[in-house]
Amino acid sequence: MSAKTLYDKLWESHLVQTDKDGTALIYIDRHLVHEVTSPQAFEGLRLAERKPWRVDANLATPDHNVPTTERAGGVKAIEDPISRTQVETLDANCIEFGITEFEMLDTRQGIVHVVGPEQGATLPGMTVVCGDSHTSTHGAMGALAFGIGTSEVEHVLATQCLIQKKSKAMQVRVEGKTGPGVTAKDIVLAIIGEIGTAGGTGYAIEFAGSAIEDLSIEGRLTLCNMAIEAGARAGFVAVDDKTIDYVRGRPYAPDSDQWERAVASWRTLHSDEGAEFHRVVTLDAAAIKPQVTWGTSPEMVVGIDDSVPNPADEPDSVKAEGMGRALDYMGLEAGTPMSDIALDKVFIGSCTNSRIEDLRAAAQIANGRQVAANIKLALVVPGSGLVKAQAEEEGLDRIFTDAGFEWREPGCSMCLAMNADRLSPGERCASTSNRNFEGRQGQGGRTHLVSPAMAAAAAVSGHFVDVASLINR
Amino acid sequence: MQKFEIFTGIVCPLDRSNVDTDAIIPKQFLKSIKRSGFGPNLFDEWRYLDQGEPGMDNSKRPVNPDFVLNDSRYIGAQILLTRKNFGCGSSREHAPWALEDYGFRVILAPSYADIFFNNCFKNGLLPIVLEEKIIDDLFRLASDDQALGMTVDLHKQALVIGDERILFEVDPFRKHCLINGLDDIGLTLQKIDAIKAYEKQRKSEAPWLFHGK
């Protein structure tokens, strides 16, 4: 038998049927549902008088629209009437179709991509989908996970399957030891800087190499989360001891009588020796500095010790024009050292970076320091109610509030500004989220993507700074 | 889904690469629980000078005269010509819904983001991949004083401009679905036996995947 990639194994174990032209029907093990991309899908089911194929494969929670401030009033108290309708619609649909939902006031509520792994609802070897592009996150568990549109949400609800074509396989290897202050976020931003935002289009990416093996599961979740920013629908990491230790004891993990059998099966979830990839990219971990984006696409990224690049140095004219437009939008001059860029707001949160290790890393920098006077708002938004509770147990909330950060309720918040948390036109933000697109965090808002530690360092300094200089103090 | 028939339309040139779905339809319009009505807010932040919110009377808003959709040459355009990696970012199907609701039927670009590309076909929208050089030529033609008209023939997989024909590739399954206006779910439900057989087999191999809580 020929050597297989992890992608081959995940794909083949979910094949229901393949047509002659390669169009395949694949089975979906877990479907995560949130309020923004599901209402039209449920409506479609109702109109066609269809029922969900397998109710227990679904898990829902509202995240995009929920307020991160006071929630005591419940869903009824959500100020924006359209946001409220969307959350109420999710609640009503889950009741009508019998789907488990962690409602807004449930401690288990949170960002779907934080909640899934946290609950053990995302398991190694699964296919996981959600009407959200950052579903690639769950690949960190050794799963095939990808974002889908609303028509496909309806398709999964109705059939437990999706019509797909197999992607090409890419391996991104990061070898060696990372330097001080360099996190999974910096690694993935460096990867995107290397291959570009379309570099992974048409591929499923397996992340491998010693620097990836060294990452914790939470670090791998951050890494796989941004596979989509490199254009790849799915990104994943092979299963190892860390994966299995992470899953053990979680609410949706296999029962004890099936545990050993499950683990034996998960141990096979790696690429075989000699497996071939359509493309292999290798990065040197030691060469990666803490990363900061300067433009309006995640590929517009440099190290903290670098400067804003000059479009005049770019030979590709279409690309140079895009760079010029990005600099205009961002209000930046070519040649400005990244560490000279002053900020207005700081956002620590999102499905990329709102887990407990992220909050610990940020709190370590914030501890005993103060948010700089020029920072109008520094926001910490935990990824779930359980992350929030854990952080409070560790006293991280006090560290943040003592330093002048705001400590909020869980949700997507200012990553995409569908709720009240957003940037005003022209405001500049250090953000641990995943997209620095024009208007993403509020119309006219200027987003710089960084790691949680770098965001905290920027908050206490008022401008970007190499976090390593604060760690080694 | 509506059947995709041969048609002739105007080409609107949007000369930017990496156009993301946040730009195609900004997040504030995603709060709708409907599938229709997104057209007036297509490219909202580029198209209007003020800040758009759901429920506004869009006909009374100040338009950005420099944005190509507002150029009188391209009023009623049904074909969008653009650059590489179109539709990157968020998986929101609201993006193809907005393009379709505005009146676009076809997109021409050198490449697309995967999820967006897939979403288009579910909504009767045809994204066509063309070589960069052909896209460059089309940008030159479409930017003329006289708007460029083009016939799109999916059966023959051809774009016809006057006497010229540009052939394009399309996945046979997707072509079949577009031409016949087929609903994917209906097609999959014809395979119920295969799905059930798979489930049975999988349940015996990996029973822990079938545990609800």
Mean residue pLDDT of chain A comes to 96
Distance from CA of B69 to the nearest CA of A (A): 18
Distance from CA of B196 to the nearest CA of A (A): 9
- Rounded CA separation A78/A98 (Å): 24
Distance from CA of B90 to the nearest CA of A (A): 5
Tokens of B34: 């409907």
Tokens of A430: 């250090």
Q: Enumerate the residues of chain B whose CB falls inside 8 A of the CB of residue A123.
A: 208-209
| Contact between A437 and B187 using a beta-carbon 8 Å cutoff | no
Give the up-direction half-sphere exposure of residue A120: CA atoms within 13 A in the CB hemisphere: 18
A46–B contact, CB cutoff 8 A:
no
What pLDDT digit, counting tens, does each position of A358-399 carry? 999 999 999 999 999 999 999 999 999 999 999 999 999 999
Residue with tokens 């609950």: A119
pLDDT at A473: 52
Inform me whether the pLDDT recorded for A418 exceeds 90: no
Residue with tokens 């109702």: A46
Q: Enumerate the residues of chain A whose CB falls inside 8 A of the CB of residue B207.
A: 258
For residue B191, give the chain A residue with the closest CA: A17
Distance from CA of B182 to the nearest CA of A (A): 13
Q: Enumerate the residues of chain A whose CB falls inside 8 A of the CB of residue B210.
A: 56
For residue A250, give the chain B residue with the closest CA: B213
Average pLDDT over residues A138-145: 98
| Contact between A418 and B171 using a beta-carbon 8 Å cutoff | no
SS (H, E, C) chain B: CCCCCCEEEEEEEECCCCCEHHHHCCHHHHHCCCCCCCHHHCCHHHHECCCCCCCCCHHHCCECCCCHHHCHHHCCCCEEEECCCECECCCCCHHHHHHHHHCCCEEEECCECHHHHHHHHCCCCEEEECCHHHHHHHHHHHCCCCCCEEEEECCCCEEEECCEEEECCCCHHHHHHHHHCCCHHHHHHCCHHHHHHHHHHHHHHCHHHHCCC
pLDDT at A228: 97
- Rounded CA separation B178/A326 (Å): 37
Q: Which residue from B27, B114, B211 is facing A418, i.e. has the nearest CB?
A: B27
Q: What confidence category does residue A107 fall into, taking pLDDT thresholds of 50, 70 and 90?
A: very high
Average pLDDT over residues A161-184: 97
Which of A325, A387, A317, A350 lies closest to A137 in space, CA to CA?
A350
Tokens of A128: 């996981």
For residue B206, give the chain A residue with the closest CA: A262
Q: Which residue from A25, A56, A147 is facing B188, i.e. has the nearest CB?
A: A25
| Contact by Cβ (8 Å): B109, B82 | yes
Inform me whether the pLDDT recorded for A1 exceeds 80: no
pLDDT at A61: 98
Strand partners, B150: B9
Average pLDDT over residues A152-176: 98
Give the up-direction half-sphere exposure of residue B105: CA atoms within 13 A in the CB hemisphere: 21
Distances (CA, A) of A29 to A10, A110, A155, B211: 12, 21, 14, 10
Distance from CA of A150 to the nearest CA of B (A): 6
Q: What confidence category does residue A318 fall into, taking pLDDT thresholds of 50, 70 and 90?
A: confident
Average pLDDT over residues A206-223: 98
Complex ipTM, two decimals? 0.94
Distance from CA of B98 to the nearest CA of A (A): 14
Q: Which of A13, A40, A135 to mutate to test the interface with B (most CBs of B within 10 A)?
A: A40
pLDDT at B211: 75
Q: Enumerate the residues of chain A whose CB falls inside 8 A of the CB of residue B91.
A: 37, 131-133, 135, 147-149
What angle is formed at CA A205 by the lines to CA A412 and CA A268, rounded to 5 degrees? 105
- Rounded CA separation B178/B125 (Å): 8
Tokens of A135: 């579903």
Average pLDDT over residues A150-178: 97
Query: What residues have CB less than 8 Å from A74, skipping those under 6 apart?
Result: A104, A105
As a whole-number percent, the residues of chain A with pLDDT over 70 amount to 99
Tokens of A43: 């409506």
Q: Which residue from A17, A55, A133 is facing B91, i.e. has the nearest CB?
A: A133
| Contact by Cβ (8 Å): B171, B151 | no
* Sign, Cα dihedral of B54, B86, B158, B125: negative
Q: What is the pTM of this model?
A: 0.96
b (16+ CB within 10 A) / e for A329-351: bbebeeeeebbebebbbbbbbbb
Distance from CA of A253 to the nearest CA of B (A): 8
* 3-class SS of residue A303: strand
Strand partners, A312: none
Cβ under 8 Å to B: A residues 104-163: 123, 125-126, 131-133, 135, 146-152, 154-155, 158-161, 163
Distance from CA of B142 to the nearest CA of A (A): 17
Q: Which of A59, A80, A150 to mutate to test the interface with B (most CBs of B within 10 A)?
A: A150
What pLDDT digit, counting tens, does each position of A91-101 carry? 999 999 999 99
Average pLDDT over residues A113-134: 98
- Rounded CA separation A453/A369 (Å): 13
- Rounded CA separation A110/B59 (Å): 38
A23–B contact, CB cutoff 8 A:
yes
Tokens of A167: 């992607």
Q: What confidence category does residue A111 fall into, taking pLDDT thresholds of 50, 70 and 90?
A: very high
| Contact between B188 and A161 using a beta-carbon 8 Å cutoff | yes
CB pairs under 8 A between A and B: 193
Mean pLDDT, contiguous 10-residue spans, chain B (213 residues) = 91 96 95 93 97 94 97 97 96 97 97 96 96 97 95 98 97 94 91 97 96 63
| Contact by Cβ (8 Å): A183, A361 | yes
pLDDT at A70: 86
Inform me whether the pLDDT recorded for A328 exceeds 70: yes
- Rounded CA separation A371/A360 (Å): 17
pLDDT at A435: 97
pLDDT at A21: 85
- Rounded CA separation A449/A67 (Å): 23
A92–B contact, CB cutoff 8 A:
no
Q: Which residue from B18, B195, B199 is facing A197, i.e. has the nearest CB?
A: B18
